[in-house]
């Protein structure tokens, strides 16, 4: 794990992993018929909140890793995420295929062999982060900031022009890579700005303006362009908010969740589905936002508990800890 951690950045990790769990809970509620089209349309306005912030935050402490020899970088970053991706992609496919007759997910055991171009839906971020790390290392080592900036502009232009022919994992990585690069290149400037200068009220007003504009933009081209602008505004707003909240009781809660972000991400797919089923099918809850919130809280708690159980066993701990790294080198997302 990186040294010199900054509390509000780790709090942002806790918030974003909770939002990811909430998203999957909400989509589960939608698949079960609880979400109307109008509510879903409003929910879609939150799309620039989650993953751009996740990728940007992941880049904030990446610069030091880029300075290491490739063998060290590969072991600490590439092989680290590859290990968990292959392991949990296999576990996810096997479990979901075994339960396919009881759920609305049509998954076959053979899907495990598609991991290079079609990861299971809840683990694509790990693969995308691996691709982003490798691309950033190559571009920075052999091209420098100019080439990296050009590549980011190319990614944005591809997203704006449409990427219908590419598998989802590559489209998503290309779309989100600029945020990862921005977090890396401007890490010192961003941290200093948010730490000392960012005005929360101004960025909240800008975020409201972006949400309002996004609701009325119907042109696909401008919608893609606006996505990057609004996502950056939202990211700075959320980071500034975390800075303000670091002296409140939420500091401990979000830090604790952020410290377990990797385990929560790896394990949440089954608990969130089970929590949704119990609340909706067994307890007849029909409010999608309330149901998704309760499911998310329960899921996060179960994942953290699951991490502690697995980590306490000398064999099972390798489901949540990489055998390639020492304890102090283990990282969160």
Query: Please, what is the Cα angle at 250 between 249 and 252, to 5 degrees?
Result: 80
Question: Alpha helix locations (H) across the chain?
Answer: 7-31, 37-43, 50-60, 63-66, 70-73, 79-98, 124-142, 144-161, 168-185, 187-196, 200-216, 220-245, 250-259, 261-267, 269-277, 288-311
Number of C-beta neighbours around residue 118 at 10 A: 15
> For 254-276, what is each residue's pLDDT tens digit?
999 999 999 999 999 889 989 99
Q: What is the pLDDT of residue 105?
A: 65
User: 145: which DSSP letter?
Assistant: H
Taking residues 170-177, report their average pLDDT. 88
Cβ-count burial 66-91 (b if 16+ within 10 Å, e if not): eeeeeeebbbbbbebbbbbbbbbbbb
The two tokens of residue 142 are: 């052999």
SS3 61: coil
**CA 122 – CA 138 distance, rounded (Å):** 27
> For 118-138, what is each residue's pLDDT tens digit?
887 678 999 999 999 999 998
Mean pLDDT across the chain: 86
Number of independent structural domains in the chain: 1
Which residues, at least 6 apart from 188, have a Cβ–Cβ distance to it below 8 Å?
Answer: none
Q: What is the pLDDT of residue 152?
A: 81
Q: Residue 139 domain-assigned? A: yes
The residue that leads in pLDDT, 112 or 10, is 10
DSSP for 253-298, written as a single string? HHHHHHHTHHHHHHHTHHHHHHHHHIIIIIS----HHHHHHHHHHH
Q: What is the pLDDT of residue 1?
A: 42
Q: What are phi and psi of 43, to 5 degrees?
A: -65, -35
Farthest-apart Cα atoms in the chain, separation: 57
> For 278-309, what is each residue's pLDDT tens digit?
999 889 888 999 999 999 999 999 999 999 99
Q: What is the pLDDT of residue 3?
A: 44
Q: What is the pLDDT of residue 327?
A: 63
The answer to whether the CB of 17 falls within 8 A of the CB of 265 is: yes
SS3 48: coil
**Which of 208, 215, 217 lies closest to 237, judged by CA?**
208
Q: What is the pLDDT of residue 2?
A: 45
Give the pLDDT band (50/70/90) at residue 222: low
pTM of the prediction? 0.89
Q: Residue 2 domain-assigned? A: no
Q: Residue 1 domain-assigned? A: no
- Residue 249 sits in which domain range? 7-329
**Whole-number CA gyration radius for the chain:** 20
Burial (0-12, 13-18, 19+ Cβ within 10 Å), 216: exposed
């Amino acid at each position: 794990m990186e040294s010199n951690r900054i509390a509000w950045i780790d709090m942002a990790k806790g918030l974003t992993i909770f939002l990811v769990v909430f998203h999957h809970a909400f989509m589960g509620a939608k698949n079960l018929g609880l979400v109307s089209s109008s509510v879903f349309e409003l929910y879609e306005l939150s799309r620039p909140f989650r993953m751009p912030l996740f990728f940007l935050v992941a880049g904030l402490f990446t610069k030091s890793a880029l300075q290491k020899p490739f063998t060290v970088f590969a072991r600490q970053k590439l092989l680290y995420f590859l290990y968990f991706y292959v392991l949990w992609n296999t576990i996810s496919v096997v479990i979901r295929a075994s339960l396919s007759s009881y759920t609305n997910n049509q998954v076959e055991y053979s899907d495990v062999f598609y991991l290079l171009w079609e990861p299971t839906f809840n683990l694509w971020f790990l693969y995308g982060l691996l691709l982003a790390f490798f691309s950033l290392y190559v571009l920075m080592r052999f091209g420098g900031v100019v080439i990296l900036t050009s590549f980011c502009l190319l990614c944005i232009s591809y997203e704006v022009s449409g990427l219908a022919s590419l598998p989802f994992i590559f489209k998503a990585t290309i779309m989100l890579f600029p945020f990862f690069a921005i977090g890396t290149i401007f890490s010192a400037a961003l941290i200093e700005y948010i730490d000392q200068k960012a005005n929360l009220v101004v960025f909240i007003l800008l975020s409201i303006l972006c949400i309002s504009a996004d609701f009325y933009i119907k042109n696909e081209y401008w919608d893609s362009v606006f996505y990057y602008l609004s996502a950056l505004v939202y990211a700075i707003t959320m980071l500034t908010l975390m800075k303000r909240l670091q002296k409140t009781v939420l500091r401990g809660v979000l830090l604790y969740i952020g410290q377990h972000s990797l385990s929560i991400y790896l394990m949440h797919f089954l608990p969130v589905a089970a929590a949704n089923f119990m609340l909706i099918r067994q307890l007849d809850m029909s409010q999608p936002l309330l149901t998704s919130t309760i499911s998310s809280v329960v899921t996060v708690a179960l994942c953290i508990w699951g991490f502690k159980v697995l980590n306490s066993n000398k064999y099972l701990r390798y489901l949540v800890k990489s055998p390639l790294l020492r304890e102090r080198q283990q990282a969160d997302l």
